[in-house]
Structure 1
Amino acid sequence: MARSTYTNWQGKQTVNHPAPLVRATAEDRNAETPLNFTGRHVEATLVRNADNYFVRGSAIVVNLGVDAVHIAQEPRKGIPPLSSTILRECTVEQADALVLLRTDDDVPVAPIVDEPGWRLLGDLLAQAPQQGEGTSFPRDTPLWRSPQDDAGTISFDPAYVLKQTQLPEREQQFQIKVNLWFAPAGTDCAIHDRHDFIEVHTQVHGLGSMQKFSAQDHAALYEDLRMSPGYTTPDPFCVQESDGSYRYPWHQYRADTDCVWLAVEYHAIAR
């Protein structure tokens, strides 16, 4: 399959993963590619065109697709769309694309920020952007981001995936981007309400929360989704507006312990 290059947020040319997410020939099935943020603390692997794919040992398995992924056990249950679970020594029947994450819960994870490409988010922002109509991002927030990687393209009707319609009608193509985040225990990662993409989060190490607020104020908390390793926020927080943009509630990630989590972003590809 053809590969291309893209420029990541560090300004480096990086080999892009094959796209789109489609059924491949036999020789392309169960293709494993280490993601560019895999390292000593988290092993991260992209698996494309899974066909009776065996999960060795134990791994957090993230379903990047919009169809359920079945596990070869009876009764045939599996991983819902845009969701995850922890699997051990079992077989995934079919999947367009999965991310497998392996880490040791007993090893301190804070040194992950010393691995290549990790940066404090405040240092990555040339200018502190406004978080919707509220205050700007606090540049000294102890929130680190790994290098970001591309995980292929996918087509779906965003209104259907976001449960705004009962039947899919108008598909759109999206680029899937993935990266890890780290925050130390007790970190509020800044209440914000602006993204130009659909996102979900998967807990990888430690305990944290995805929180929703009625205003950019910690006292305005109205929903607190507790996250342990292997858990993905069950539905994207946003809805699609009539102009195609996405409206999010005020929300943030909070680290209860030292935490690593995966962000999966679906960026609309302009036609």
Structure 2
Amino acid sequence: MPIETLDFAQPFFRVQHITDEDRVSVEGRAIALNLGERDISIEDQTVAPLSSVIVQNSVLNNVKCAVVVHGFDAHTDDTELFAWVKDTWPSAFDVRQEERLRGVSHYMSPKVFVGNVGLTMYHSGSVPLNVGLHKDHPFCPVPGFREVHTQIVGFGKMQQCRERDVETLYLEEFLAPGTTHKPMYDAKGNYPWHQYETITPSIFMAVEILPEGARVPDMEVQNG
């Protein structure tokens, strides 16, 4: 289906998954993330693969694969939004059972897979978040796993470290609404020690691209 509405982020945001469309109109303001292997054009500008922008009353051209998040700035009170999210989504530790997430104010929406692409929203409720440095993704043992994060509400940063110690940090990318950090993995799919950290309480979207031969993790609660 060329344009599909995904319900994993409702009732907070409306998310569309778009494939193989020459021209897609976006009414109002939205975050557009390019998941294809070629540029998307917006008037005289281009959006590179695994990059995102905020668009407003715009047309996306030459879309191979993209995700559009509507309503990212539609909530007038972030504190009320975050309280609602905490009442709706379970903690990431309860779902994933990773020790680094125990006791962390980190909540996750249902996860939906469209083909080999998994999409999840996360609410990070504390500053700092202290989600824990990691370089492996146990739910995907097959080499070639790719992941990026797109900021939806609030402000955060993606940190890369030489060792499992924040004091060895060597690269930090600032994330504002509509921003996706640059891919961290190398050509073989290896990751540095990394973590998402909050600047303010926030919501971001994790995009997980499974390599050929990998299966959807058992913990996923929705499939598309």
* Structure 1 position 138, deviation (Å): 4.1
1:192 and 1:51 map into 2 onto residues whose CA distance is: 39
Distance 1:46 1:211, change over 3 A: same
Alignment counterpart, residue 111 of structure 2, candidates 148, 156, 162? 148
Checking the alignment, whether the CA contact within 8 Å between 1:185 and 1:256 is kept in structure 2 is: no
2:158 and 2:195 map into 1 onto residues whose CA distance is: 6
1:182 and 1:260 map into 2 onto residues whose CA distance is: 4
1:239 aligns to what SS in structure 2? Answer: coil
Alignment counterpart, residue 43 of structure 1, candidates 7, 10, 14? 14
2:29 and 2:76 map into 1 onto residues whose CA distance is: 14
* Structure 1 position 114, deviation (Å): 2.6
2:167 and 2:149 map into 1 onto residues whose CA distance is: 23
The residue aligned with 1:203 is: 151
2:6 and 2:151 map into 1 onto residues whose CA distance is: 17
2:136 and 2:75 map into 1 onto residues whose CA distance is: 32
Residue 223 of structure 1 pairs with residue 171 of structure 2? yes
1:69-84 residue pairs with structure 2 within 5 A?
69-71=40-42, 73=43, 76-84=44-52
2:194 and 2:28 map into 1 onto residues whose CA distance is: 35
1:125 and 1:39 map into 2 onto residues whose CA distance is: 21
The residue aligned with 2:220 is: none
* Structure 1 position 40, deviation (Å): 2.9
2:105 and 2:125 map into 1 onto residues whose CA distance is: 7
Deviation per CA, 1:114-142, whole angstroms, max 9, x where unpaired?
33xx221111234x4xxxxxxx5141111
1:137 aligns to what SS in structure 2? Answer: helix
Q: Taking CA–CA contacts closer than 8 Å with sequence separation of 6 or more, which of the two structures ends up with the larger relative contact order?
A: 2
The residue aligned with 1:96 is: 64
Alignment counterpart, residue 134 of structure 2, candidates 164, 187, 192? 192
1:1-271 residue pairs with structure 2 within 5 A?
31-71=2-42, 73=43, 76-102=44-70, 103=72, 104=74, 106-108=76-78, 109-110=81-82, 111-115=84-88, 118-126=89-97, 128=98, 136-152=99-115, 175-186=116-127, 187-195=129-137, 196=140, 197-234=145-182, 236-241=183-188, 246-270=189-213
| Alignment RMSD (CA, Å) | 1.8
2:104 aligns to what SS in structure 1? Answer: coil
1:66 and 1:114 map into 2 onto residues whose CA distance is: 37
Structure 2: unaligned runs, 5 residues or longer: 215-224
Checking the alignment, whether the CA contact within 8 Å between 1:105 and 1:206 is kept in structure 2 is: no
* Structure 1 position 32, deviation (Å): 2.9
* Structure 1 position 105, deviation (Å): 5.4
Checking the alignment, whether the CA contact within 8 Å between 2:184 and 2:191 is kept in structure 1 is: yes
Checking the alignment, whether the CA contact within 8 Å between 2:120 and 2:206 is kept in structure 1 is: yes
2:126 and 2:3 map into 1 onto residues whose CA distance is: 33
The residue aligned with 1:24 is: none
Structure 1: unaligned runs, 5 residues or longer: 1-17, 19-30, 129-135, 153-174
The residue aligned with 1:159 is: none
1:265 aligns to what SS in structure 2? Answer: strand
Letter in 1 for 2:111: Q
1:64 and 1:107 map into 2 onto residues whose CA distance is: 30
- Which 10-residue stretch deviates more, 48-57 or 96-105? 96-105
Identity %: 26
Relative to the length of structure 2, the TM-score reads: 0.83
Relative to the length of structure 1, the TM-score reads: 0.70
2:117 aligns to what SS in structure 1? Answer: strand
Distance 1:65 1:113, change over 3 A: farther
2:94 aligns to what SS in structure 1? Answer: helix
